[in-house]
A and B are shown apart, each in its own frame.
Chain A
Amino acid sequence: MSLQPSDVEKIAHLARLAVSEQDTPAYVRNLSNIIDLVGQMNAVDTTHVTPMAHPLDMAARLRPDAVTEINQRERFQAIAPEVDAGVYLVPKVIE
């Protein structure tokens, strides 16, 4: 199966990735090759197979509903690109 440039643009948008027009043909080619590779899966009938989501059959652990984390806002925000008065700054969203 071959992807079109418009498919790559759509996927890149969904993934929130800026891809330049100049790079698009290479992504179309490479992604089409990868989709062809994974297409080999279709040769096998899996109608009655139970999907395997995880390598170990384990149930999720429960823990008491208690606060275990302490507030470390300053420490975490020290590595942020832009903060002010304890909040992360991004370009204006609401006019």
Chain B
Amino acid sequence: MHTKTIAELSHALHKREISSVELTRTFIERIKRHNGALNAYVTVTEEQALAQARAADARLKKGEGGPLTGIPLAQKDIFCTQGVKTTCGSKMLDNFIAPYDATTVERFNHAGAVMLGKTNMDEFAMGSSNETSFYGPVKNPWDLSAVPGGSSGGSAAAVAARLAPAATSTDTGGSIRQPAALCGITGIKPTYGRVSRYGMIAFASSLDQGGPMARTAEDCALLLQAMAGFDARDSTSADRPVPSYSAALNDSIKGLKIGLPKEYFGAGLDKKMAQLIEAAIKEYEKLGATVQEISLPNTHLAVPVYYVIAPAECSSNLSRFDGVRFGYRCKAPKDLEDLYKRSRGEGFGAEVKRRIMVGTYVLSAGYYDAYYLKAQKLRRLISDDFKQAFSEVDVIMGPTAPTAAFNLGEKTDDPVTMYLSDIYTIAVNLAGLPAMSIPAGFIGQRPAGLQIIGNYFDEARLLNVAHQYQKVTDWHSRVPVGFE
């Protein structure tokens, strides 16, 4: 049961061949058996899950419910869940029980999905390896000595190890796509504004976007359908209709114009990774797509620009954690300043503090123009590169990450080395575009991901393009040894 896709499980649930309670129990048992080795979940909500499953079964019995009714899912621990701890991977929120549900959580509840638990993540989504979590690193199911990627490492590992058919995730600089690539699963970061950010703990508000992770593009289409859409409670929510994502899956991609940015295939890209991406592109040519080289000339500026804008926004967003209204408070503060400083100093981990300090620095008097304004101008150039590219091609393809998963501890000493592992994903967030990562092979036993970038609000086409590849390949259906 645990190896089936959501599409298959949904079919079986509606035909009453299985019950949601049975399905939920299967996944809870698997979590109990494997989570010790992976550390993918930080909270398992067994009782609530079974109650939701019983409610789903009652709906299904009456012939009601939709494609997600009775389907178990995991929520990244960045989404607020009423009555259930929401930690964001931080000591700061180790005791935080959200007083309300995030819109994404509310929508899945409304669809009748079952929440299995909350998944581990880099602290406040700041990291590319899940090693900054207060709850310890997540292990990659394909190789326990490797990182799962980050920041949605727990969600990616849970889906790859079949500890959930799907999970939610968020992407500020690659945090859906990079862990999806490193764990051999499918993930989509929608257009900025497509999925509500209400109740999704803020890191960098002009970049953050939630999206689903699953094993297939077909499943991602079902999940995104539930997540996407206008929400008045998010001031940057896009007020435009949501198309049917499943309807477009089987469209032919004959004549599809694929652009390959030459900057994504240069120095720094692992040779074996380059070969796998080239093989995937060949597969697309067989399906009738045409391929042309394009240029995104400001690609090399994306990481520097991101590490001004994201920390600047983070330093502002995370100022709310002050030890007064909720979250961690230091012991015996001697005055108000001591309360602020020690609550924050003790509650945040090293990477979060680094980013808050970088953000504070670039926004401080005398430096604003040199750093923040400069970064905003370069952000325009990076975004214009994509506009130019999409006047010539339908989608852009390349590697999601320069290498397969690296070893635990390999990049923790030098933050800048870690930052550079997001070189192919970050520009997409700066521009606000949608992009996916899909499994495209293995380097040794570690998975490789193909990135597909689309134009604004073109998620249906991305899912269609990904689905067509998954119909003729089987990388996405491989199961890591020990988790069959």
Contact = CB atoms under 8 A, between A and B. Distances in A.
A34 B415 CA distance: 8
Interface string A22-46: 0100110011011101111110101
A78 B303 CA distance: 41
Interface in B358-397: 358-362, 364, 371, 373-381, 383
A47 to B, nearest CB: 9
Nearest to B380: A52
Q: How large is the interface on A (under 10, 10 to 19, 20 to 34, 35 or more residues)?
A: 35 or more
Contact of B329 (A15, A50, A82): A82
A53 to B, nearest CB: 6
Given A31-B354, A81-B323, A41 B374 contact: yes
Contacts, number: 171
B99 interface: yes
Nearest to A23: B350
A18 interface: yes
Given A44-B301, A91-B334, A31 B361 contact: yes
Q: What does DSSP make chain B's interface, helix, strand, loop or mixed? A: helix
Nearest to A7: B361
Interface residues of B, number: 76
A17 B381 contact: no
A66 interface: no
- Residue of B327, B335, B378, B456 ringed by the most chain A CB atoms within 10 A: B378
B163 interface: no
B416 to A, nearest CB: 5
A17 B356 contact: yes
Q: What does DSSP make chain A's interface, helix, strand, loop or mixed? A: loop
B222 interface: no
A39 B370 CA distance: 9
Nearest to A54: B206
A53 B205 CA distance: 11
Contacts of A53: 206, 376
A20 B430 CA distance: 34
A55 interface: yes
B99 A15 contact: no
A79 B376 contact: no
A90 B336 contact: yes
B348 A17 contact: yes
A34 B192 CA distance: 26
Contact of B416 (A11, A34, A52, A76): A34
A14 B360 contact: yes
A80 B326 contact: yes
Contacts of B356: 15, 17
B279 interface: no
A41 B305 contact: yes
A31 B336 CA distance: 27
Given A15-B315, A27-B354, A79-B95, 4 more contacts: A31-B358, A31-B361, A33-B416, A81-B327
Pairs of residues from A and B, 10 with the lowest C-beta to C-beta distance, nearest first: A55-B432, A18-B345, A51-B376, A81-B329, A46-B377, A52-B380, A18-B341, A49-B377, A15-B360, A16-B340
